[in-house]
Structure 1
Amino acid sequence: MKLKKVLLGISLCVSALSFAQQTKKEVLFTINENPYYTDEFVRVYNKNLDLVKDDSQKDLDNYLNLFIGYKLKVNRAYELGLQDNRKYQLELKNYREQLSKNYHLDKEVTDELVEEAYNRLQKEVKASHILFKLDENALPADTLRVYNKAMEIRAKALAGEDFGKLAQQYSEDIPAAKTDKGELGYFSAFRMVYPFETGAYTTPKGEVSMPIRSRFGYHIIKVEDVRQNRGDIIVAHIMLLKSKDNASEEEKAKVKTRAEEIYQKLRQGEDFGELAKQFSQDGYTATKGGVLEKFSSGSLSSEEFENRAFALEVPGDYTEPFETQYGWHIVKLVKKFPLLTFEESKEDLEARVAKDDRSSVIAEAMTEKLKKKYPMDTDKKMYSKVLTAVNDSYYVTDWKLPESADNFNKTLLTINNDKEIKAWDFLEYINKEQKGGIKAKPLNRLVSILYEKFSNEKLNEYYDENLENEFPEFAGVMQEYKDGLLLFDLMEKEIWDKAKKDTIGLRNYYNAHLNEYRWGNRVNAEVISSTDKKTIEKARKLLKKGKDIAFIKEELNTNGKINVIERSGVFAQDDEMLPVLDKWETGISDVVSKGDYYYVIKVNKILPATTKTLDECRGRVVNDYQQYLESTWVDTLKKEFTVKINKDVFEKIKKQLNQ
């Protein structure tokens, strides 16, 4: 039924719920004395009003009846203990994690980052870099040392020394720098770590940046070129793998010759997709006619391939054969995608920002807001006790927790005068982080860094735990999803599985509804098709001579070209995949056309309309039987549970919603 689809089809996208009227929360009805309130009924009704097409479901009396039926099923699910199912609990937990992500974003910072990313996406930057590695938690003295080294090499570049040679000599981006001289090619937003991207986009063309700090260390970046973003593109390609390095010149020439032969076949009008299926050695794309996934500049490892692809202008145009480090290619343009407007791309950009390094900027901003919202207090005595429990063995990942937790089972951190976190919890966190790579010295600095991370995590956990209290719309969506999941499991247990396994009930239902399961007029036939009328006329002549399908295909499909395709079996006379015949009769039809194809049909037998056997229509009968069981189910539940409706409250709701 449609209500089931509406209630189960809850979107992962969160939006504020607004109503034309505000409703005082009152008990609308009870099921076995469990109350259900007006605010939930009004919220769900308004939310689903535009989704249902059946006007009967918009009628409030009927909708109340549907809503009560829905809650009866949920009560049944709880009665059966389905809420204790581990799979249900895990799915609910995963959903809440997804739903809560939107509430962990600082909207102002997110909007700024989204706008910045969009502006950057309008351009593509070509740059080289030199990396000087540095641990994220390095001591100030080490940080200054590496920074000064980066400044020293930058000065050499500014003095005119070749940047590529400097990259080969000094860059710690090994082994790449030794072979590519620090070259990164063209890239746009989201292709590099965020601080590096910022450095590249804020450095003028032809200049060398100041040292840029990322999680890898310091970079100096030389911006070689800036151009307009070419957008995205979909192409198909035919690829012949490069000969092995020790291959003879003759073997290498064979690959090139084969590429030129395929190119000639294209020029003769043969289909690119069919040639890709036959000859392309890219196993991933060959079966799909050579079509690659959509890509942008910098997405592929061959700049030559990208440039050739983007040089194509009109869909259907293709390149001459060209060689890359991977082999020989012929590329055909399928479609170009110009950059979207800001409004068109905003939703996608928000998702990308949330997954990108930029997310740490958002998380930091959100944490700062939470610190202002929820005060945190640290017990200094307990913190000092924790500090004395950590020793230098931590640096060699050999530190052990104290043997007893008793001395640390006291409050270290209090959040919002509400949640207390024990010192032992922090010690366990320190132990867990031991292999995380943080080696800051001295120990008091190490513990300070870890405590900052720990307290920030606990603050965000506290906020997450209280989302239902902070945001009524979040609580509402979660309640709907809880109920929807339970209802799905219940339907599977009491309706869907039952309909599949109840063979006697299914047979009885089928026998009672035989007229609903009938075949129309059908034919047992062999259907031959081609885009060429003369070829089909030849096929018809061969059929007339008594030749079988195998002979006809061998005769007409020559020189590696598929000229005819055949299908055999039982078909409905009104099958949309078949041409229309004036009269269906046994024998060989005239040549008929439909769309771009010509057909000849050999009808072996006319099959009149008849009742389908249960095996022939089992899937549909099972579905119909499921709907029948569901339609009578609510009436059964109403007899098992006590439902009391507060009619006066319902009348008030009706007046309010009908205004």
Structure 2
Amino acid sequence: MKKQFVSLVCIVLIGFSYINAQTIQIPDSIKQKVLLTVDTASITADEFAWFYNKYNSYLDSSLIVSIEESMQLFIDYKMKIIDAERQKLDTTDKFKDEFYSYLKSTAKSYLYNDTLEHLAKVQAYERLQTDYNISHIFIRSNVYSNPKDTLAAYKKALSLKKELEAGADFGKYAQLYSDDTFTKEYGGNLGYITSMILPLPYEHAVYASKKGSIIGPIRTEQGYYITKINDIRPTKGQVKASLIVIYHDSKHADSVRKAKLIADTVYNRLLAGESFDTLSNIYNLNQRLYSSKGDIGWLDNSMRYDPPLKEALFAMQQIGDITKPLYFDYGVVIAQLTGKSELADIKSYVKTINKLFKKDETRKNVVKEAFYAEYKKTAPYKQQSQTIANFISLVDNSILLGKWTKPSFTENKTLFTIGKESYTYEDFSQYLFENQKSKHISDKEVLVRMRLQEYVNNMLEQHAVQHLHLRNQEFARIMQEYHDGMIIYELMNNEVFQKANKDSAAVYQWYIAHPQDYLQTEGIRVSYFMCKDAKIAKKVVSLIQKPQSSFTDQSIVTTINKKSMDNVLLDSAVFYRGQDSFVDSLEWKTGSYHILENNKVMRITKHIPVQPMPFETCKNAVISDYQSYLEDVWVQSLRKKYSYSLNQSYFSLILAKNSQ
């Protein structure tokens, strides 16, 4: 049974780390020497040590196998692997899909440095301590646009920066050249911003700059930014406020004028001492503001409110202060300060930061982007820019409708390479065919280049996973374990498990041929009398002491319960030797009784002798034993099929090393 247990451990528990293991020591001089040859496979002493240490770690101390036994199991293990590989059990689609799935999931912890995301989140909080007042000029250029268009946009941004550094007026240039329609009328000024507002590459550039500097061009997915750092200040902390908002239609002067008159009235009534809550209930038509009496809760500079509104709130000093009417495109706002404090600690921001890193396109893949950038260098990655442009010319606008079909390529050109692997027209066109439409992209070239970048990233990851075993010995060993475990299981399933499960006649014959292996131990059947009180228990005992033929269990209950049905309740149980230590300590004599706690009386009613178990009762045990038999026969056939040679001098050194 010990051998069978170890065998199952080898199959099922592959891939798990071990603790508190009984380990074997190998002399340094022979660790990489060939200790064992099985068929044509050469196995080092170090590999045997791994096997011994790994699998003995799963066993109870009473089951730990000796080094000599372990060597024999190891030989069997290697023969099974060789036989499975000869049968090509690791070449089926099912095997390859399952193995690659495990390979990919396991590789992630080796490929991706999750510490980077943690550090980025901590950095996001730390940057909240500082506000930057910035102005920018935005030159639109999608990151997936034609390289010529991208270069033209970059040159334009660079030219503007040089002119600004030479003294040109930043505000006027923003009004003339910026593609940011929201800020250009304000001379490009965004006011004071802080962490978690800008795209991450833009934020990095800002926080690395000094007051008064002009930086850029800063590349983002949508285009280039030229940015001026107007001012840098410590955070204003966080404030709690309530708002009254008088909405208007900015396109109609009468609506704007009416809102201004109402706002002035509200402001004067507040100055006169009327309650902010009362006026909020009257003038806040927005349902959320009305329900909360204008309360917008706590906010800091990272929250996306209008910069002038945030500045007005930060400027108030005393709880209860109110602002003058503030004018915006959507209406007029009057605010009251209801709370003021320093920024909360990082724990209070965890949910907000996690949400941002989950949704924001520039932040959610920070770990993967770092991996892609690094792996492109180490693989290395090389793209064929002109070939990519040629491929894009073969794609028509039907792709924007999801109706593009793959053309027949006269030449299957290489688009890019990763290491020694080439990725061609045919490879990428299949991915593109399966991923055509995009709701937010109306430019064919932008769509194709975006899909190409996705495909490149997928292939970088795939290449890294498939070659990781060459760069990381620990990962290589884990993958080898999983591979070997899978093919051994498939082999055992074919040679042992399925044979036993399908050949029910052979299993039953095994049961008939080995009756002494499936004996039920000696047992007793007992009756329990649960008595209402000690007085009732005595009455039960007095009846039990009479001949059993006179008073059966049921007649005792009937007699005792004549006056009350709850005087005594009857139950029964069967015990076998070794099942219950208390019952084992009793004299197993039919008719004897024992008074237990809580007015409970136990009566031994039947002695059950040792006897063969019914087949259905022990069927699982029979199948298991028959499988062990089939495995022994099979392993012996492997021993005849494959030769092996053990270097006895090296093995003696190992035994001597571990006998000290």
> TM-score, normalized by length of structure 2?
0.55
> Secondary structure of the residue that 1:162 maps to in structure 2?
strand
Q: Deviations over 1:427-463 (max 9, x none)?
A: 333332224x363354443333333322222222221
Corresponding residue number in structure 1 for 2:37: 30
Give the Å deviation of 1:411.
Answer: 0.8
The 5-angstrom pairing of residues 594-613 of structure 1 reads 599-601=600-602, 605-613=606-614
Distance 1:23 1:590, change over 3 A: closer
- Distance (whole Å) between structure 2 residues aligned to residue 617 and residue 76 of structure 1: 33
Distance 1:61 1:567, change over 3 A: same
- Distance (whole Å) between structure 1 residues aligned to residue 442 and residue 414 of structure 2: 26
Q: Deviations over 1:601-655 (max 9, x none)?
A: 5665433333334443232233233334434543332122222334455456667
Corresponding residue number in structure 2 for 1:104: 111
- Distance (whole Å) between structure 1 residues aligned to residue 540 and residue 487 of structure 2: 60
Please tell me whether residue 384 in structure 1 is matched to residue 389 in structure 2. Answer: yes
> TM-score, normalized by length of structure 1?
0.55
Asked if 2 retains the 8 angstrom alpha-carbon contact of 1:158 and 1:208, the reply is no
Asked if 2 retains the 8 angstrom alpha-carbon contact of 1:12 and 1:99, the reply is no
- Distance (whole Å) between structure 2 residues aligned to residue 113 and residue 528 of structure 1: 70
Please tell me whether residue 520 in structure 1 is matched to residue 527 in structure 2. Answer: no
Corresponding residue number in structure 1 for 2:497: 496
Give the aligned residue type for 1:360: N
Give the aligned residue type for 1:393: S
- Distance (whole Å) between structure 1 residues aligned to residue 364 and residue 64 of structure 2: 43
Give the aligned residue type for 2:304: P
- Distance (whole Å) between structure 2 residues aligned to residue 573 and residue 65 of structure 1: 37
- Distance (whole Å) between structure 2 residues aligned to residue 581 and residue 45 of structure 1: 42
Asked if 2 retains the 8 angstrom alpha-carbon contact of 1:544 and 1:588, the reply is no
> Secondary structure of the residue that 1:82 maps to in structure 2?
coil
The 5-angstrom pairing of residues 55-454 of structure 1 reads 59-106=66-113, 108-109=115-116, 112=119, 145=182, 162=243, 205-207=298-300, 209-211=302-304, 360-401=365-406, 403-407=407-411, 409-416=412-419, 418-435=420-437, 437=438, 439-454=440-455
Give the aligned residue type for 1:480: E
- Distance (whole Å) between structure 1 residues aligned to residue 574 and residue 7 of structure 2: 37
Asked if 2 retains the 8 angstrom alpha-carbon contact of 1:27 and 1:36, the reply is yes
Asked if 2 retains the 8 angstrom alpha-carbon contact of 1:536 and 1:600, the reply is no
Give the Å deviation of 1:12.
Answer: 5.0
Asked if 1 retains the 8 angstrom alpha-carbon contact of 2:527 and 2:573, the reply is yes
- Distance (whole Å) between structure 2 residues aligned to residue 73 and residue 636 of structure 1: 11
> Secondary structure of the residue that 2:365 maps to in structure 1?
helix
Asked if 1 retains the 8 angstrom alpha-carbon contact of 2:358 and 2:364, the reply is yes
Corresponding residue number in structure 2 for 1:617: 618
Give the Å deviation of 1:393.
Answer: 3.3
Give the Å deviation of 1:112.
Answer: 3.3
Q: Deviations over 1:371-390 (max 9, x none)?
A: 23233222122111122233
Give the Å deviation of 1:5.
Answer: 3.9
> Secondary structure of the residue that 2:302 maps to in structure 1?
coil
- Distance (whole Å) between structure 1 residues aligned to residue 38 and residue 495 of structure 2: 20
Q: Deviations over 1:248-300 (max 9, x none)?
A: xxxxxxxxxxxxxxxxxxxxxxxxxxxxxxxxxxxxxxxxxxxxxxxxx99xx
Q: Deviations over 1:106-155 (max 9, x none)?
A: 254156369899x99xxxxxxxxxxxxxxx99999998759999x99x9x
- Distance (whole Å) between structure 2 residues aligned to residue 73 and residue 356 of structure 1: 51
Distance 1:397 1:500, change over 3 A: closer
Corresponding residue number in structure 2 for 1:311: none
- Distance (whole Å) between structure 1 residues aligned to residue 521 and residue 514 of structure 2: 16
> Of 4, 7, 10, which residue of structure 1 is paired with 2:14?
10
Q: Deviations over 1:73-121 (max 9, x none)?
A: 223333444334544333323322222121221254156369899x99x
Distance 1:419 1:505, change over 3 A: closer
> Secondary structure of the residue that 2:36 maps to in structure 1?
strand
Give the aligned residue type for 2:494: K
Asked if 2 retains the 8 angstrom alpha-carbon contact of 1:506 and 1:625, the reply is yes
- Distance (whole Å) between structure 2 residues aligned to residue 355 and residue 18 of structure 1: 50
Greater mean deviation of Cα atoms: 367-376 or 54-63: 54-63
- Distance (whole Å) between structure 2 residues aligned to residue 19 and residue 146 of structure 1: 71
Asked if 2 retains the 8 angstrom alpha-carbon contact of 1:56 and 1:62, the reply is no
Corresponding residue number in structure 2 for 1:345: none
Corresponding residue number in structure 2 for 1:463: 464
- Distance (whole Å) between structure 1 residues aligned to residue 244 and residue 90 of structure 2: 64
- Distance (whole Å) between structure 2 residues aligned to residue 496 and residue 526 of structure 1: 42
Asked if 2 retains the 8 angstrom alpha-carbon contact of 1:540 and 1:588, the reply is no
Asked if 2 retains the 8 angstrom alpha-carbon contact of 1:28 and 1:650, the reply is yes
Distance 1:58 1:210, change over 3 A: same
> Of 16, 39, 52, which residue of structure 2 is paired with 1:45?
52
Give the aligned residue type for 1:406: T
> Secondary structure of the residue that 1:434 maps to in structure 2?
coil
The 5-angstrom pairing of residues 557-568 of structure 1 reads 568=572
Asked if 2 retains the 8 angstrom alpha-carbon contact of 1:495 and 1:626, the reply is yes
- Distance (whole Å) between structure 1 residues aligned to residue 244 and residue 558 of structure 2: 72
Give the Å deviation of 1:598.
Answer: 6.3
5+ residue gaps, structure 1: 121-135, 167-177, 185-202, 213-221, 232-296, 299-349, 558-562
Asked if 2 retains the 8 angstrom alpha-carbon contact of 1:392 and 1:443, the reply is yes
Equivalent residue pairs, number: 466
Asked if 1 retains the 8 angstrom alpha-carbon contact of 2:500 and 2:626, the reply is yes
Give the aligned residue type for 1:10: I
Distance 1:578 1:64, change over 3 A: closer
> Of 570, 576, 587, which residue of structure 2 is paired with 1:572?
576
- Distance (whole Å) between structure 2 residues aligned to residue 479 and residue 588 of structure 1: 63
Corresponding residue number in structure 2 for 1:472: 473
- Distance (whole Å) between structure 1 residues aligned to residue 289 and residue 535 of structure 2: 59
- Distance (whole Å) between structure 2 residues aligned to residue 634 and residue 101 of structure 1: 37
Q: Deviations over 1:6-46 (max 9, x none)?
A: 4231235699x999848664443333334334443233334
Distance 1:438 1:652, change over 3 A: farther
Give the aligned residue type for 1:483: D
> Secondary structure of the residue that 2:435 maps to in structure 1?
helix
Give the Å deviation of 1:516.
Answer: 4.1
Corresponding residue number in structure 1 for 2:646: 645
Give the aligned residue type for 2:416: L
Distance 1:22 1:382, change over 3 A: farther
Give the Å deviation of 1:479.
Answer: 1.7
- Distance (whole Å) between structure 2 residues aligned to residue 457 and residue 223 of structure 1: 49
- Distance (whole Å) between structure 1 residues aligned to residue 390 and residue 104 of structure 2: 35
Distance 1:499 1:366, change over 3 A: same
Larger Rg: 2
Q: Deviations over 1:143-181 (max 9, x none)?
A: 8759999x99x9xx9995539999xxxxxxxxxxx9877
Give the Å deviation of 1:484.
Answer: 1.6
Give the aligned residue type for 1:70: Y
